[in-house]
Amino acid sequence: MTRLALVVFLVFTTFNAQSQSAIPAPPELSATAYLLIDAYSGAVLVEHNADMSLPPASLTKMMTGYVLAEEVIAGRVKEEDMVRISENAWSQNPLFNGSSLMWIEPGKDVSIADLQRGIIISSGNDSTLAVAEHIAGTEAVFAEMMNTHAKRLGMTNTHYVNSHGLPDPAHLTTARDLAILAKAMIIDHPDQYKINKELEFTYNNIRQYNRNTLIREDPSVDGIKTGHTKEAGYCLVASAERNGMRLISVVMGTKSTKARKNDTAALFNYGFHFFKTETVIEGMTELDKPRVWKGLQDYVPVGLLEKVALTLPRGKHDNIETIVVLNEEIVAPLSVGDPVGTVTVSLDGEVQFEAPAVALAAVEPAGFFARLWDSVLMFVAELFGAR
């Protein structure tokens, strides 16, 4: 699967102002729940009620868009496919009264590409339902698909009932789950994600503007979704990239569009100012070259297959310590990726990352007499405690 960056997933870490005296406490926001994470390392920089179950409103459409992107990648849907609009997906459906719409009409054919923009830019409940019916036949079946993807992504506190986010008591998610979903959309489907930055979309001679106004005000912001209902309040999931560092912000339950925008901007400013994400170990880089027994080669390069990025307080990356501990005996045959020890990255005595050290090259077994001789040497070494 295409990735913007291949990063070993880190343990989610919330940085505490008491343990990082150089960093002030994060801003206290008006939102009911909020979360700020690094998109690639997964480090949690700020959180408040991040696991509280809340109605997502149109943030639901993030998952609708994700499912659509997955179907396009799988080849079951094409952007040029034409969708016949049903009575259910008609913009005049009473269910949609007073809500955001793309303004599609029953009996007409609309392309997937247009419906996709209707979902992302116009936040159209009608276009969302049209896509759900086209993919799954009914919205109920599509909701099952949404829940299946949510479970696969690790969104453990999310349950979808519909494709658009209009209120239902069982239709709930959390700020943490939305951050997981945003991260998956950005990394798994970068081409589809680019649509989030488009400022406007015109369909049926009706021009509509991207509701994420931060995209116009902050050039580092390039997505991802707004939401609002009376039950959910004003919500915003956003992502920004500055100097190679990408953050994801989730703000839920504010009282106005201005409040959700200001809360999001405050989180981004705090995160980018006080933290930095850097690659501390490159993938396929030799960290050690230990002895291999019973192999055609005597030594094997050891390291990590994927790069490791750490999000730490600014100025702290110079203080990290990387330790490689190898198994007492490394015996051929070895394949690339076989574990041969442990890599640990620590900061001020606290483990920030730990993973198996693996062979970066294959080692074929030696011939019979060479293996026999190495067996003798290994026995002698063990006998005299030389290992």
> Around Cβ 90, how many Cβ atoms within 10 Å?
21
Question: What is the three-state SS of the chain?
Answer: CCCCCCECCCCCCECCCCCCCCCCCCCCCCCCEEEEEECCCCCEEEEECCCCCECCHHHHHHHHHHHHHHHHHHCCCCCCCEEECCCCCCCCCHHHCCCCCCCCCCCCEEEHHHHHHHHHCCCCHHHHHHHHHHHHCCHHHHHHHHHHHHHHHCCCCCECCCCCCCCCCCCEECHHHHHHHHHHHHHHCHHHHHHHHCCEEEECCEEEECCCCHHHHCCCEEEEEEEEECCCEEEEEEEEEECCEEEEEEEEEECCHHHHHHHHHHHHHHHHHHEEEEEEECCCCCCECCECECECCCECCEECCCEEEEEEECCCHHHEEEEEEECCCCECCECCCCEEEEEEEEECCEEEEEEEEEECCCECECCHHHHHHHHHHHHHHHHCCCC
34 and 47 Cβ atoms separated by less than 8 Å = yes
Closest CA to 202 of 261, 277, 118: 118
Q: Which of 41, 61, 100, 122 is catalytic?
A: 61
Q: Which of 41, 58, 99, 163 is catalytic?
A: 58
Torsion of the alpha carbons at 131, 135, 141 and 142, rounded to the nearest 10? -50
User: How far apart are the C-alpha atoms of 153 and 170, rounded to whole Å?
Assistant: 20
Residue 220 annotated among the catalytic residues of the structure = no
Q: Which of 99, 100, 122, 123 is catalytic?
A: 123
Query: Is the four-CA dihedral 137, 138, 141, 147 of positive or negative sign?
Result: positive
Residue 316 annotated among the catalytic residues of the structure = no
Residue type, 149: H
Residue 61 annotated among the catalytic residues of the structure = yes
User: How far apart are the C-alpha atoms of 238 and 178, rounded to whole Å?
Assistant: 10
Q: Which residues are catalytic?
A: 58, 61, 123
